[in-house]
Amino acid sequence: MPYTIINDKKIYYKQYGNGEPVVFLNGAMMATNSWSPFIKTVTENYKMVTVDLLDQGKSDSYEGSYTVETQADFLKEFLDKLELEKVHLVGMSYGGKVALTFTSKYQYKVKSLALSNTDSYTTKIMKEIGKAWIYAASTFDGDIFSLIAMPYMYSFNYYEKSYEDIKEKAKILSKVLNEKWYERFKRGLESADEYHVYDNIKDIEVPTLIISSELDTLTPIKYQHLIHQQIKNSQWKVIEDVGHAAMYEKPKEYISLIMEFLKDIK
């Protein structure tokens, strides 16, 4: 399996195709395989790199607390280890927080930035939702966790239409939702509690795409608009009739926006 060691931690990643590297950063409940549906599209013109950061997927756990900046620093070491001097960076939700933090700190390593369903600081309501998710995960019951977390992920119509699939995912989650999964999930959510880069991102000058979902209740459109206002010459696109998990509800439109954006970068 493709691992690299960073600060004594095994970091799992995958690479596909050739060309300029596009690095995809996971949301809170995602892993490298979450991006698999986009491999064919991305690798037509680019090298695609997916990575599990700390407490994600197949990468090592982290002892004690850490922050989104810790993840950004690990990402810097990861890119250096793979000898990737400059990358296109794509971050979804939590991954967007990491991407914004990374770019504000290591802008010289970023050729472009694509952010979806994310924000530039953690709101009070997001902290409260996080506490509810952590409590639900502490039951080690996939059905309970699904009842608390999944309605925030999808639009009403998608949830109704895909109800059986969502319930099936809850059954799968029940098989992995143990104490280790809970502790990793808890640390990951809590790492964003003090996240706040709003005042720093005004200095970002790389080409930037911001993607919103019309019906996102977890990170509403307002918060992507704030990022758009701060980053000069950024592009802002809204996908209609979808919730927070736009990449699952309308995958073709989601990846098309990113690829169109990348195509115009020299």
Q: What is the pLDDT of residues 196-232, one digit of tens each?
A: 999 999 999 999 999 999 999 999 999 999 999 999 9
What is the rounded average pLDDT of the residues 43-63? 97
Q: Which amino acid is at 12?
A: Y
Judged on CB neighbours under 10 Å (0-12, 13-18, 19+), 160 is exposed
Look at residue 1 in the predicted model and tell me its pLDDT.
Answer: 65
Look at residue 171 in the predicted model and tell me its pLDDT.
Answer: 85
Please check whether residue 184 lies inside any domain of the structure: no
pTM as predicted: 0.96
What are the beta bridge partners of residue 229?
Answer: none
Residues in contact with 164: Cβ distance below 8 Å, sequence separation at least 6, in sequence order? none
Please check whether residue 192 lies inside any domain of the structure: no
Please check whether residue 141 lies inside any domain of the structure: no
CATH number at residue 259: 3.40.50.1820
With vertex at residue 146, the alpha carbon angle to CA 246 and CA 222, rounded to the nearest 5 degrees, is 40
Tell me: the pLDDT tens digits for 146-205? 999 999 999 999 999 999 998 888 888 888 899 999 999 999 999 999 999 999 999 999
Total domains in the fold of the chain: 1
C-alpha to C-alpha distances, 262 to 89, 115, 125, 256, nearest whole angstrom: 10, 13, 33, 10
Distance of alpha carbon 226 from alpha carbon 228, whole angstroms: 5
Residues in contact with 7: Cβ distance below 8 Å, sequence separation at least 6, in sequence order? 74, 77
Range of the domain at 66: 3-122+197-263
What is the rounded average pLDDT of the residues 105-127? 97
Distance of alpha carbon 226 from alpha carbon 166, whole angstroms: 32
Please check whether residue 95 lies inside any domain of the structure: yes
